[in-house]
Chain A
Amino acid sequence: MDVFFNQAFAGLSMASILLMVALGLAIIYGAMGVINLAHGEFVMLGAYSAWLLQSYLGLGILASLPLIFLMVGLIGLAVERGVVRWLYHRPLDTILATWGIGIVLQQLVRMGVGSDSRYVARPTILDGNVAIGGVVMSNYRIFLVFFSLSVLAATWYLLTRTEFGTKLRAVIQNKEISECYGIRTDRIYALAFAYGAGLAGIAGALVTPLVSVTPGMGTYLVVDAFLVVIVGGVGSLLGTAVASGLVGEATALFSFLMNDTLGRVAVLLAIIMLIRFKPQGLFPDKVRR
Chain B
Amino acid sequence: MAQLELQGLSVQFGGLRAVDGLDLSLEQGELRCLLGPNGAGKSTTLDLICGRTTPTGGAILFDGRDMTRLPVFKRARVGIGRKFQTPTVFRELTVVENLEIARSARPGVLSSLTVFRSRLQGRMREVLDLVELGDELHTKAGNLSHGQMQWLEIAMLLMQDARLILMDEPTAGMTIQETRKTGEIFNSLKGSHTMIVVEHDMSFVRQIAETVTVMDQGGLLAQGSIEEVENDPAVREAYLGDGGNGHA
On whether A and B touch (CB less than 8 Å), the answer reads: yes
Question: B191 to nearest A CB, angstroms?
Answer: 41
B246: Cβ under 8 A from any A Cβ: no
* Cβ contacts under 8 Å, B14 to chain A: 286, 288
Q: What secondary structure prevails in chain B residues at the interface with A?
A: strand
B13: Cβ under 8 A from any A Cβ: yes
Q: Which residue of B lies closest to A287 (CB)?
A: B14
Interface string of A243-271 (1 = CB under 8 A from B): 00000000000000000000000000000
Task: For the complex, give the distance between the alpha carbons of A279 and B203 in Å.
Answer: 46
* Cβ contacts under 8 Å, B16 to chain A: 288
* Cβ contacts under 8 Å, A286 to chain B: 14
Task: For the complex, give the distance between the alpha carbons of A286 and B12 in Å.
Answer: 14
Task: For the complex, give the distance between the alpha carbons of A288 and B16 in Å.
Answer: 10
Q: Which residues 1-42 of B have a CB within 8 angstroms of A?
A: 13-14, 16
Question: A109 to nearest B CB, angstroms?
Answer: 42
Q: What's the count of A-B pairs with C-beta under 8 Å?
A: 4
Task: For the complex, give the distance between the alpha carbons of A288 and B14 in Å.
Answer: 7
Q: Which residues 100-155 of B have a CB within 8 angstroms of A?
A: none
* Cβ contacts under 8 Å, B13 to chain A: 288
Question: A213 to nearest B CB, angstroms?
Answer: 48
Q: Which residue of B lies closest to A288 (CB)?
A: B14
User: By the criterion of a CB under 8 Å from any partner CB, how many residues of chain B are at the interface?
Assistant: 3
Question: B116 to nearest A CB, angstroms?
Answer: 30
Question: B224 to nearest A CB, angstroms?
Answer: 34
Task: For the complex, give the distance between the alpha carbons of A203 and B14 in Å.
Answer: 40
* Cβ contacts under 8 Å, A288 to chain B: 13-14, 16
Task: For the complex, give the distance between the alpha carbons of A144 and B83 in Å.
Answer: 57
Task: For the complex, give the distance between the alpha carbons of A286 and B13 in Å.
Answer: 10
Q: Which residue of B lies closest to A286 (CB)?
A: B14
Task: For the complex, give the distance between the alpha carbons of A286 and B15 in Å.
Answer: 12
Task: For the complex, give the distance between the alpha carbons of A286 and B14 in Å.
Answer: 9
Task: For the complex, give the distance between the alpha carbons of A229 and B16 in Å.
Answer: 32
Q: Which residues 11-38 of A have a CB within 8 angstroms of B?
A: none
Question: B2 to nearest A CB, angstroms?
Answer: 34
Question: B92 to nearest A CB, angstroms?
Answer: 16
Question: B20 to nearest A CB, angstroms?
Answer: 17
Interface string of A270-289 (1 = CB under 8 A from B): 00000000000000001010
Q: Which residue of A lies closest to B15 (CB)?
A: A288
Task: For the complex, give the distance between the alpha carbons of A288 and B13 in Å.
Answer: 8
Q: Which residues 39-91 of B have a CB within 8 angstroms of A?
A: none
Interface string of A218-252 (1 = CB under 8 A from B): 00000000000000000000000000000000000
Task: For the complex, give the distance between the alpha carbons of A46 and B46 in Å.
Answer: 55
Question: B53 to nearest A CB, angstroms?
Answer: 14
Task: For the complex, give the distance between the alpha carbons of A287 and B53 in Å.
Answer: 17
Q: Which residue of A lies closest to B14 (CB)?
A: A288
Question: B12 to nearest A CB, angstroms?
Answer: 11
Question: B143 to nearest A CB, angstroms?
Answer: 21
Question: A31 to nearest B CB, angstroms?
Answer: 26
Task: For the complex, give the distance between the alpha carbons of A288 and B17 in Å.
Answer: 13
Task: For the complex, give the distance between the alpha carbons of A286 and B16 in Å.
Answer: 14
Question: B94 to nearest A CB, angstroms?
Answer: 25
Task: For the complex, give the distance between the alpha carbons of A89 and B16 in Å.
Answer: 33
Question: A90 to nearest B CB, angstroms?
Answer: 16
Question: B36 to nearest A CB, angstroms?
Answer: 21
Q: Which residue of A lies closest to B16 (CB)?
A: A288
Task: For the complex, give the distance between the alpha carbons of A9 and B35 in Å.
Answer: 63
Question: A77 to nearest B CB, angstroms?
Answer: 36
Question: A288 to nearest B CB, angstroms?
Answer: 4
Task: For the complex, give the distance between the alpha carbons of A128 and B13 in Å.
Answer: 56
Question: A189 to nearest B CB, angstroms?
Answer: 28
Query: Contact residues of A with B, CB < 8 Å?
Result: 286, 288
Query: Contact residues of B with A, CB < 8 Å?
Result: 13-14, 16
4 A-B contacts (beta carbon < 8 Å)? A286-B14, A288-B13, A288-B14, A288-B16
The 4 closest A-B pairs by CB, nearest first: A288-B14, A288-B13, A288-B16, A286-B14
